[in-house]
Amino acid sequence: MSGKSKKLLVVGGGRSIHTYNFINLVGDYFSDIMLLTDYEDKNHSNIKKCVVDFSFHNPIKILHSYISIRRLLKDYKPDFIACYQVDTAAFLTLLSNKKHIPTLVTAMGSDILLNQHKGFFHKFLIKYVLNKAKYHNTGALHVAQQMQQLANKPLEVVVANLGFDNDIAPQEKQNIVYSNRLHKPLYQIPHIIRAFAKFYKYHSDWRLVVAASGDEETLAVLADELGIKSAVSFVGWLDRQANNHFYEISRLWVSIPQSDCTPISLMEAMAAGCIPIVSNLPTMRQWIEDGKTGIIVEDLDSNFMERALQLDYTQLLTANNNLMIEQGSKEANRKKFYGIFNKEFGSATNSQIAKTKP
């Protein structure tokens, strides 16, 4: 039976671009899609939505949200549910799913690696969601292993991510260090600025470009205090074209979060020929071989950007390009998600799957 006759309910944050990227990745498999979310994003008005408050701060609102989700499941009658994160939204949806509609749960790195340590309720919520879901997915093997340890049943976790568009290619490189993760404590942007200050002492023809948003003013003050204000550009939140441009012309790309699953930005940077500099995390070691295909930072206070210039760039470029084609592209990852749907609804040939999207 083809998924083309089936309806999909996606549960995910309305402010997260990952939710919409997931819909775009798998949407052609289904005949109809509804998004159960907490926010009406006018930029995605083409997607049908049911907006519900997923906050657990008010017991009355929790009951109201539960009733609303029960009503949606009854009226919409989805054939499959995909919860894009292990959070209160997934918890309420699975709690409301009395007819046992097959459900896929996708776990972010922080969902599993960090939240389980926030207290009893968070760990209970994670375990409930993992045990109630029929199918499981995450972007990193290390996270998949942690999911299995938390669950009370054997899990067949499909390791797949949202992939990157094949519209990025290396251009003539400039002496630019590019950082485009959010300005949240998790991503440790101040450490990147301090590291660039060390690097800049010996490479004054380089500049640091800090994209994304969150705390530009504080970061700009730090750059000024370190004497590198003129060499650091805060470009804010960039559209896809501008973001790709910086990937393509930058020599180095830096992301040193405290915890992470596999970020799409890492794949985009690798495909664009940047030398990736990443945190010493199991999820990063899945993609980067230190000293060969990138730099894994052991000491945040070290001059880790200097190490990147010592790598064999030709070898790095070839290895990372091949890896992205085989495991990082949207098409490679789309097939993995379609494999989950085929398992539920009946198989289709690989050629049929490949032709679903160009």
Cα gap 177→208, rounded to integer Å: 5
CB 79 within 8 A of CB 100: no
Q: Which residues contact 13 (CB under 8 A, 6 or more apart)?
A: 19, 37, 38, 39, 84, 85, 87, 89
Query: CA angle at residue 206 from 201 to 208, to 5 degrees?
Result: 100
What are the tokens at 324? 């992205």
pLDDT digits (tens, 9 = 90+) for 144-160: 999 999 999 999 999 99
What are the tokens at 296? 């894994």
Region 164-188 average pLDDT? 92
Cα gap 113→111, rounded to integer Å: 6
Average pLDDT, the chain: 92
pLDDT at 347: 63
pLDDT at 349: 41
User: Confidence band (pLDDT; 50, 70, 90) for 350?
Assistant: very low
pLDDT digits (tens, 9 = 90+) for 263-300: 889 999 999 999 999 999 988 998 999 999 999 999 99
Superfamily name and number for 3-163+330-354? Glycogen Phosphorylase B; (3.40.50.2000)
Domain 174-328: top CATH class = alpha beta
pLDDT at 113: 87
**Portions of the chain given CATH number 3.40.50.2000:** 3-163+330-354, 174-328
Q: At what angle do helices 120-132 and 141-150 cross, to 10 degrees?
A: 100
pLDDT higher than 50, residue 341 = yes
pLDDT at 205: 98
- What pTM was computed for the model? 0.77
